[in-house]
Amino acid sequence: MADLQVQLQRALGGVYRIERELSGGGMSRVFVATEVALDRQIVVKVLPPDLAAGLNVERFRREIQRTAKLQHPHIVPLLSAGASEGLLYYTMPLIEGESLRAKLVRQGELPIPEAVRILLDVADALAYAHEHGLVHRDIKPDNVLISGKHSVVTDFGVSKALSTATGKATLTSIGVALGTPAYMAPEQAAADPSTDHRADIYALGIVAYEVLTGHPPFDGLSAQQVLAAHVTEPVTPVKRHRATVPPALETLVMHCLEKHAADRPQTAGEVLRALEAMATPSGGTPPTAAVPATLRTRRRWPVMATGSALLVLAGIAALQLQHRGASVDAKRVSVSAFINKTGDATLDPVGPMASDLITRGLSETGVVEIVGAGAGTVIAGSFYRQGDSLAFTADVTDASAGKVLAKIGPETAPRDAPLRGIEKLQARAMGGIAMMFDQSYGLQGIILRVAPRYDAYREFATGEEAFYRNEPDSAVAHYRRATLFDSSFVYPLLRMADAYYQRYVQWDSVLAVVSSRRETLSPFESAYLQSAAALRHGDFASSYTASREMARIAPKADYAKYGLANSADYAGHWREAVAILEHLNPESGMLRGRIFYYDYLTTSLHLMGEHQRELAAAERGHQQYADRLYIRLLEVRALAALGRTGDVDTRVSETLSMPSSPDGSPADVISMAAAELRAHGNAAAGRALNDRLLAWLAARPPADAATEPMRVWRGRGLYFAGRWEEARPVFDSLAAEHPDSVVYVGWRGRIAARRGDRAEAERLARQLALQTRPNLFGKQTYARAAISAILGDTAQAVQLLQDAIAQGVQIGVWESDMDFESVRDYPPFRELIKPRG
């Protein structure tokens, strides 16, 4: 297939000039183009060719034209639709800003005034469209764009155009679903043919739920489970997640989420008027006094039952004042006296005692400041009878948002020994607060289902220190002890899986243990498990998707951001990886000593072709890790790509005096430089540097030269130099010593192909194809791709590379592999290495 961008430019002719790809995935590829006659930028959305082939183009164009008649300030108009060169596309204006999805990923739940303003704009757009007989069918944060203080809805009418053009209510038979599971109304999920505009009202309710709580109501489930939940499961009230949402707003949201369409607001206009009634003229916080006076009175009087409850009432008032504009530091914590709910006044002194002990415990953690007023985080608790015992519980609340961050307890103790229960609750309060606010490990905002005991957290923290010192065995030992101290603390097991990376038996064992406890995991831990399991099987695309979910759930956690950047790098989303990494500080918190930060950053920039930025990043790494050989390798790669051969020689000379280490050896640096010089058009300089590698290897002491790594470097150096007959016995002997190694069989196949022995090359390729044992992660398929490329079987080589990616080979690793030089100008190969986003 021709490159899609080139193909699209041909289809558009001289009317539009394609500038760049904006995004991809889902139902369309998105490009920014300039409309030549008017010199204005527009967006072109291209449907997949296999989908376009199944559509009635004229029906599709007619529906798009019908939708294009919508003229409303909160609807992105469709400008045109066309079909040419086998492509089906439509155009719309370019909106400067970001999607609501991107905003939620970055920020989480939104301030209530901002949420109301966005919902007002979307409801206004829906009311107008519904009045004109048009239903969106796919309202979700991805289709709401934020530009300044205004929101606009995009892709209006596209779902209807697709269904009309195929004559079907759904397109699942050809791989496209009309609607997104997380936002589908029950009748839409059940494929009810009578589905109408009220499905948009349900979807708006889901969007409202998400902007107010930070997540949709049915989260962490498979697509099929989400669809079933829409039909059968009740929605947890908004106030359970965020107590400060005004009752009138919560009532409206839950009304939109009624299972039966007849029980919802019947028009978007009703929703719009309700939202307008809540908004103040200045666009401020919706009034909280919209609750009937009798209900407010009923809620107030029980709180005043005991003296200690007055402190809680004062705390609530403080929270409301803070929410109305005061800026507070989340690490400033206050602890209210615990409320006595036993009905026994003789136990009143237990409340202040609990508060005092927890306050003292939190001070010992050293991660928060205990204050009496102006707190950003409030801990409020209570105790009650449980048979002959007392049970103690506490809520940790974000004061500025009114959101409960964690629930601690219940912890029980005999009635005559309440201190035992308080001490157990204290241990979990300390562990929970440390988990939330200790910035050393990038865990800010990660919420676990059960707060860990503090002794277990400290053991876990010691494991983190060892992990980031690159001492995996020590880290595993500490993680294991953390789970022994507190069996409910599952998170160390997930980190243990990371420490067991590439030790597959242990890795599988830990993942199996965590999977068996799936019902105890928080949403963040569930996403972590999905990411680790996908990575274990070389499924970088699924690992990336799960990592995005981790970052969405805990947008403030540096660990989640770094993990997403790592997954994005491996899955080919290099721009996203760079954007994340450049906003992290590699010299603080969990990234201190994390040299691979610069590996992910420079590799992503390298594969994007941004070599000047790549060099600047490598030089920053050199300032931080001047004595690390691996950083020299990253610098040399960038310099070679920029063609700065003199600087490459200088860096290589410096490297030769450095000892080998776990980072690698000077041979790694020289070989990398030679390959990169050749890949970027400096073949002569590459050959000269490769000759220098062979000379350096020849000068090694005999015992050193006889080691397997040095023999591999010699064989590769001879191969790079075109000395196939000399390279052949090196890899023949290595393959004889390691008959199960697909890598050495692959090198033998490459050499046979280079020597012109096609029969032998194809025999070895077949031998590789028979290798199906676990944990190869596509290495055998990658070697077959290289053999095919050398033999001139271009299409087969690219297909095998695609297969290798699916099996676990990182996208882009072949960028400097000389054996793929013959296919570099082949359009499907260029498409394969193009950044995904």
Between CA 557 and CA 436 the distance in angstroms is 9
Read off φ and ψ for residue 9, nearest 5 degrees: -60, -40
Rg of the chain taking only CA atoms, in angstroms = 31
Q: Which residues contact 400 (CB under 8 A, 6 or more apart)?
A: 322, 323, 326, 328, 330, 376
Q: Mind spelling out the 3-state secondary structure of 184-213?
A: CCHHHHCCCCCCCCHHHHHHHHHHHHHHHH
Q: How far apart are the first and last CA of the chain?
A: 21
Side-chain half-sphere exposure of 434, counting CA atoms within 13 A:
24
Residue 776 CA: distances (Å) to CA of 123, 501, 502, 770, 783: 52, 14, 11, 12, 12
Between CA 834 and CA 106 the distance in angstroms is 25
Between CA 729 and CA 735 the distance in angstroms is 10
Tokens 């695609």, residue? 802
**34: β partners:** 17, 41
Between CA 130 and CA 480 the distance in angstroms is 58
β-pairing, 80-84 vs 40-47, is: unpaired
Tokens of residue 798, six digits: 């690219």
Active-site residues, by number, are 138
Between CA 425 and CA 423 the distance in angstroms is 5
H-helix or E-strand containing 90?
strand 87-93
H-helix or E-strand containing 169?
none
Contact between residue 810 and residue 570 where contact means Cβ atoms under 8 Å apart: yes
User: Beta strands of 509-650 (E only): which ranges?
Assistant: none
Of the candidates 194, 67, 182, 68, the residue with the CA atom closest to the CA atom of residue 134:
67
